[in-house]
Amino acid sequence: MALPLRYNFRNVVVRWRTTVFTVLGVAAVVGVFVLLRALARGIESTSGNTGDPRNILVVRKGSQAESGSLVTREQYRTLQYFEEIARNAEGEAVVSAELVMIVSAPRRAGAGEANTLIRGVTPRGMELRPQVSLVEGRWFQPGRREVVVSRRLSNRFEGFELGGTLKAGRDRLTVVGIFDGQGSAFDSEAWMDADESRAIFDREQYSSLLLRPKDAAAAKAIMTRLEEDKRLALRAEPETEYYSKQTMTAMPFKILGGILGVAMSVGAVFAAMNTMYASVAARTREVGTLRVLGYSRGAIVLCFMIEGTLVAVMGGVLGCGLALLLNLYVQVRGVYFGTMDFQSFAETVFQFRVTPDLVGLGLLFSAVIGVVGSFLPALRAARLPVIAALKSV
């Protein structure tokens, strides 16, 4: 015969002081666990939100990122004449040769310096990225040492505001426009003319080629052709797939979340065990009475485990609720975070995201804490001798 659930709820309410302390402890553990996972999820969503599924990105074979790739002008000229590439209204091949470089820029409020990406693009490059839109000023003009920057970088770095200047190599570039990348990886970049960037940074080659095939069959044909052409030594893949793979930056947050989650969960389990042991000590006569009334040891174990899990889940709900409130504040106020991209060694700007699956994971985590933390105290309660329990004061 099992004890009714209202008995567990009543004990939680009657012993509210102990309940409050345990709930707050578990809430802190679950909140930190969810927020660290949300940081990694924010970086992953930034990469996953980047690119157009119609585009193909071409880099040198063996390179994992644009920053480590070299594409020669001869390769670019050869690729332009592939018949599988789409043409725009002017009859030009929709392909952009681009150069990705890193510059150091001072953060606002004297918070030191950080690396950021400057991407040299052609007019076709802007044509290939409809998700990027100009929100202030105008687009750069080739040959005039001009640059446009993302709105997020404009808010994070000095000199990146409209009309400001930023240092690139031995030259200075004037910011003539601000663009919005709609939460994509382009929000961590500044753009200028591709050939002008090669001259400023003294580079003969490009970093990558971005192109649009005529259709899906043409896209497959281009990728197969480049894979088999040993002379070109280039590798092609859909732009969206390329950026989806660039999630190595999120790994430290996942590892840190795992380590802190384990360490803090151990502490939370011991805290829950301590609370439940204290509850057993205070309810010795009550346990003896339950045994006299005919409740089995199994029913006593189940009763205490349900009670401990209930308290822990209440803490999980509170911790997830606080994480959701912080997520709402970040989204409404437009707060962004920055971390180093381990592929390009430049700063990536992102927002953390508390998603429904993370909330579910946090609640499951709290339930595990409750079950593990209440198991041993529940066994102790069930093993109390009935006579000794009834005689306790």
Say what the pLDDT of residue 97 is: 93
pLDDT at position 321, please?
A: 94
Q: What is the pTM for the complete model shown?
A: 0.74
| CA-based nearest residue to 60, from 234, 210, 222 | 234
The most confident of the ranges 41-45, 215-219, 331-335, 341-345 is 215-219
How far is C-alpha 128 from the chain's CA centre?
A: 25
* pLDDT: which is higher, 41 or 217: 217
Contacts of 15 (CB under 8 A, 6+ apart): 279, 282
Radius of gyration of the chain (CA): 30
CB-side exposure of 170: number of CA atoms within 13 Å? 5
Bridge partner list, 208: 98
Mean pLDDT for 341-350 is: 65
Q: How far apart are CA 113 and CA 77, in angstroms?
A: 38
Q: Which of the 8 DSSP states describes residue 3?
A: P
Q: Is 282 exposed, middle or buried (0-12, 13-18, 19+ CB in 10 A)?
A: exposed
The mean of the pLDDT values for the chain is 82
| pLDDT band at residue 393 under the 50/70/90 scheme | very low
Q: How far apart are CA 166 and CA 175, in angstroms?
A: 8
For residue range 224-245, what is the model confidence (pLDDT) as tens digits?
A: 998 888 888 899 999 988 887 7
Q: How far apart are CA 268 and CA 309, in angstroms?
A: 12
